[in-house]
Amino acid sequence: MRALTRREALTAAAAAAVLPLQSLAAQPATPAVVKGRLKQSVSRWCYSKIPMPEFCEAVKAMGLTAIDLLEEPDWAVVADHGLICSMGYAGGGKIPDGLNVRANHDAIVKNFEEKIPRAAKMKVPNVITFFGNRREGLSDAEAIANCVEGLNRVKKIGEDAGVTICVELLNSKVDHKGYQGDRTLFGVEVVKAVNSPRVKLLYDAYHMQIMEGDLIRTIRTNKDYIAHVHTGGVPGRHELDETQEVNWRAVATALADLGFPGYMAHEFVPTRDPLTSLRQAVALCDV
């Protein structure tokens, strides 16, 4: 999940929040995934204190098949453990410096040209990119046009490789001040205009709950434009439990009932034993 991206901006918060880790032996032997109607994954940066091999074995034991938000060197690591990277970093820009500014397009195109074919070889189904922060004098209409222009330059790369380019919706109220793609309709307008099966939204439900709420209706209405979903408790981005306001089981049920083919990836910072918190979230969303 670079300066000002998840890995650097949020690792400190994750490290501060994580309590001492229970041994893997203390975790239940049975998988948390029983029904499996909805594919689940987990974002690596939230569990950065756990060595990668241990983490792979733990999530695999829970019944997960993927780990989210990995840089290229880790794609092979998860593959060695019988998992995939469900969302990879492939040089799609930084959160504030994204597709809304045309000057950023050349670098993003070049990186995708190099890395998306490698992602395909490693069976990485999705790569992430960003809308970017507002600039003075840059209207939403112009920003949308710029995003469409940039994505039109890269969509064939994704189409040829069978890899979906996912543009993430983020909140501009709490975590990413100034981010322009902070509403679902902004993202949908971009994806509709690009009109490619390999350019979709990463619908981060944590972020969109902060900005607009109405998660289930929004997902149902815009299901054709969403490839991937992130979770996180609101407020605080912690466990999916009684301390926060979203009914995640209802959200997961809505996705499963739609036949959502993508992943629901957990992206919350645990405040208790991290593997126990993750197992509880996976079981909650196994609908």
pLDDT digits (tens, 9 = 90+) for 198-241: 999 999 999 999 999 999 999 999 999 999 999 999 999 999 99
Q: Which tens digit of pLDDT belongs to each residue from 19-31?
A: 445 555 567 779 9
Predicted local confidence at residue 106, as pLDDT: 98
pLDDT tens column, 126-155? 999 999 999 999 999 999 999 999 999 999
Domain residues of the chain, as ranges?
6-15+38-284
The mean pLDDT value for 52-62 works out to: 97
- Using one digit for the tens of pLDDT, what is the confidence trace for 101-123? 999 999 999 999 999 999 999 99
Q: In this predicted structure, what is the pLDDT of residue 23? A: 52
Q: Is the peptide bond before 235 cis (omega within 30 degrees of 0)?
A: yes
pLDDT number for residue 28: 77
Using the predicted structure, report yes or no on whether residue 14 has a pLDDT greater than 70.
Answer: no
Mean pLDDT of the chain: 93
Pick the CATH number of 6-15+38-284 from 3.90.1150.10, 3.40.50.970, 3.60.10.10, 3.20.20.150: 3.20.20.150
Q: What is the pLDDT of residue 235?
A: 97
- Residue 16: pLDDT above 60? no
- Kindly report, residue by residue over 152-181, the tens digit of the pLDDT: 999 999 999 999 999 999 999 999 999 999
Assign 9 a pLDDT band (cuts: 50, 70, 90): very low
Predicted TM-score (pTM) above 0.75: yes
